[in-house]
Amino acid sequence: MLERQQLVGSRRDVLSPDIRVERPRVCSSQHLRIMSFCACVILIAVLVAAVMVGVAQSDVNDNNYEQDPTYWHNMAQKELEDTLRERPRGVAKNVIFFLGDGMGPTTVTAARILAGQLLGFKGEEQKLSFDKFPFTGLSRTYNVDHQITDSAASGTAYLTGVKTNQGLLGLSGAAIRKRCNSTEGAHVDSILRWSLNAGKSAGIVTTARVTHASPGAAYSHSADRDWESDRNIPHAEKDCADIALQLISDNNDINVVMGGGRAYFYPVDAPDPEPDPTFNTSKVCRADGRNLIQEWQDIMASKKARHRFVHNKKGFDSVDSTRTDYLLGLFTQSHMSYELDRNKTKEPSIADMTEKAIQILKKNSKGFFLFVEGGRIDHGHHDTRPAHALHEVVAMAQAVEVATKLTDPFDTLIVVSADHSHVMNLAGYATRGNPILGLSDNDDKVPSLAASDKKPYTTLLYGNGPGYREPRPNITGVDTESKNYVSQSAVPFKSETHGGEDVGIFAQGPQSFLYSGVHEQNYIPMVMAYASCVGPYAEGKKPCAKHESGSTGQGQGSSSRAAALSTAGIVLTCWSLGYVISKSCL
């Protein structure tokens, strides 16, 4: 017994061998009740989480639970509680703006259903990544001279804060399209330029040409969106610089530029590193003999900047983000491939490019602005090929998911919107889970709801476009889910047109609640500027988010993060209490 006491004593304090050894304590029934309670709390938390995950991942094709009113009440109440917790103020160190070109409300709904069906679910209950953002609003897309906008005028609105005329890039409505001499005094700068002027990094990612209308509005000032190369400018207007030249000569401080359109930067006699035999470069290659890609590399070298130019997936994968401050990636001669056609060994995805851009830009301690465009949604619609358009939305939603995982909602404002809509309709009375790209199936069950000509029709139809035929074809047996299927149209057009309805705004992060409601499209960059204290809200100008009363300089984050922290706090507190009690019992 003495030996044991000496051993215990030496273990308790080797410097005090004479210390009195206390008799081991035994847990009281009260202690045990507390410990049991804590264990139950932890177990319940784990079980609840497991059940929630299980419900989320359950086979929703068996939707008997949807017949219970409690299910819908609980869902609505949970959404309300999440919304009530949200009011994220503070300063946005970073801003990421995702633009789905042509991603109108019907397109979002159809893409959401497709995303769910690709996972084996019915589809309607699915949520795209940005559907989960806490704040949504609507954007009014008309411009100065047109009821229904194009991508140039809308790009100028949502990037510069100024609505303008059809076809103009980075110019106010005082300029006249195709008139070079009308641009003097009409230049307007974008949120990208405001961010660079504030010392932040900036980047552009697109699946279209980097000189196309949407990305072009971020950096260029052009009297015509089609002046992408000097070869596209009429001789009488040659005093104006083309869009590709403006990118390299006037905007080489942009840290990241990735997309398509390589042919617009090379002279006609320069060999392309990976020529596309199906693309006619003679109409777009430079007539001035300048190799703008080489000029960009020379400019970077003169700055002693750590830079890379890449033209394929292999080069892209080899880029070390930690050792690269400037990246120019031009992966195709014209637009990048549709996601359904993309050669994954040659072209990075929009999610790949978004991830690489963020990795490079986030090294700046002052923050960054990144513009990401899903540019080929629009092209799929113009061809009335809904499979292409919707898969482009799903791919962009994956890029949004990547951005949310790589950033912190406490200091990063992420906004998702569109420049305009399209005339695609989601029509008929298809039953729940009917393939969104398939034939509407309700006419078999309710004959009175069948088409008057008794021929089948698809759920997705277009108001106009190249799919018009007279008489309307019988598409029984046609693979309408094929990526190349041209959907039927009501009015004959060589190319389907834009739609003029309001488009959605989805946002999370600091000041994202300011997007709630219906807004003019030029309002979008003003919130970004206010949240990140740049441009009109830069230091010394109008007060910005950091001047708000009680602002800590950080946003409050999302409800999901708050809920996660609360749950973790409860579990940690309970575990700590149990640990203390257990120690007291030793």
Whether residue 417 contacts residue 99, with contact meaning beta carbons closer than 8 Å, is answered with: yes
Q: Does residue 419 have a known ligand-binding role? A: yes
Q: Does residue 422 have a known ligand-binding role? A: no
Whether residue 547 contacts residue 89, with contact meaning beta carbons closer than 8 Å, is answered with: no
DSSP H helical ranges for 460-532:
524-532
In terms of Cα–Cα distance, which of 322, 331, 332 is closest to 356? 322
**Given 139, 151, 195, 440, which residue is catalytic?**
151
- Count CB neighbours of 495 within 10 A: 12
* End-to-end Cα spacing for the chain: 19
Q: Does residue 288 have a known ligand-binding role? A: no
In terms of Cα–Cα distance, which of 295, 284, 206 is closest to 251? 295
Which residues are within 8 A (CB) of 313 and not within 5 positions of it... i.e. 6 or more apart? 331, 344, 345, 346, 347, 348
Q: Does residue 420 have a known ligand-binding role? A: yes
Which residues are within 8 A (CB) of 444 and not within 5 positions of it... i.e. 6 or more apart? none
Q: Does residue 335 have a known ligand-binding role? A: no
> In 3-state terms, what secondary structure has residue 112?
helix
User: What is the C-alpha to C-alpha distance for residues 72 and 528, in angstroms, rounded to an integer?
Assistant: 35
In terms of Cα–Cα distance, which of 307, 284, 282, 275 is closest to 294? 307
Q: Does residue 489 have a known ligand-binding role? A: no
Q: Angle, to 10 degrees, between the axis of helix 69-84 and the axis of helix 559-584?
A: 90
User: What is the C-alpha to C-alpha distance for residues 336 and 355, in angstroms, rounded to an integer?
Assistant: 17
Q: What angle do CA 107, 113, 118 make, to 5 degrees?
A: 120
Torsion of CA 309, 313, 317, 318, to 10 degrees: -50
Q: Does residue 212 have a known ligand-binding role? A: yes
Q: Does residue 373 have a known ligand-binding role? A: yes
Q: Does residue 31 have a known ligand-binding role? A: no
User: What is the C-alpha to C-alpha distance for residues 83 and 413, in angstroms, rounded to an integer?
Assistant: 17
Among this protein's residues, is 452 annotated catalytic? no
CB neighbour burial string for 208-237, b if at least 16 within 10 angstroms, e if fewer: bbbbbbbbbbbbbbbbbbbbbbbbbbeeee
Element (H, E) at 394: helix 386-406
**Binding-site residues for Mg(2+):** 101, 212, 214, 373
Q: Report the binding-site residues.
A: 101, 212, 214, 373, 378, 382, 419-420, 498
Binding-site positions for Zn(2+) read 101, 378, 382, 419-420, 498
Residues labelled catalytic: 151
